[in-house]
Structure 1
Amino acid sequence: MEFNKIEALLGKYFEGETSIAEENELKNYFSSPNTAPHLEQYKPLFGYFAEAKNENFEKAIPLISKKKKIAWLSAAASIAVLLGAGTYAYFNSDKEKVNNELGTYENPKEAFEATQKALAMLSNNVNAGVEGMQYIQVYEVTKDKVFLD
């Protein structure tokens, strides 16, 4: 009779439907010496749980201080920043200021000629932009003819 009950509990156990009390009953049954011969195959499974309960982890785990890692990381970052700033200063210190002239003239005639030269350049660039706008206007007219509103 007890074998039938144990077999039913085993079925429930493998389906995941047992309660804690029922699992404890199975553990007690399989840890006892009078286990049915046809159920001996399940004895190591439930015996493992009893052995695992008594196991203790005794190996010491060495702890690495995070302060040491942070200190090395900070030192490396500082060195990298200093090297970068030094390299930038070294390669950019040789360049001279070529154009120190602010566009002021002592002679009014030279100032007038420079102004005319600048305005002529501006006029040429504006005229080039106006020519480009004329092409856009032609495009718009052609588009309106093709795509009637």
Structure 2
Amino acid sequence: MELANIEKLIEKYFEATATVQEEQELQVYFSQKNVAPHLEQYQPMFQYFTDLKAEKSTRNVPLKPRKNYLKWISVAAVFVLTTSLFVNEWEKQRLAEEAFQDFRMTMSLVSESFNTGASHINYLTQLEETTNKIFRTENN
């Protein structure tokens, strides 16, 4: 490999812009015996990475069976959500019925007041008719 190319790849590697293929080229270069003297300082690092890839664990890791907490949590969440929606709708219905009853009572009071005012208008109409009769008979 060309030394200038290796130096560019090292630069790209430390800038974290090297591709996987370029990293593999560096590993191949540094696994050789003939490495440029000014690049020998990087050889142990790449050798460590090569050794690390070959390393395998022999420790037995027991896997515990997973409990079905998630299933019960989801069931509880659905129950809570459904209950809250039901309570919310029930509360809306109750408030709507209260508002309707308040509206009905208010309209009843308005109707009574209107009817009372309308009965006084009848007296005013009779008074006006009588007054008109009196003034017509005097003017004639």
TM-score (structure 1 length as normaliser): 0.41
Flag the structure with higher helix content: 2
Q: TM-score under structure 2 normalisation?
A: 0.43
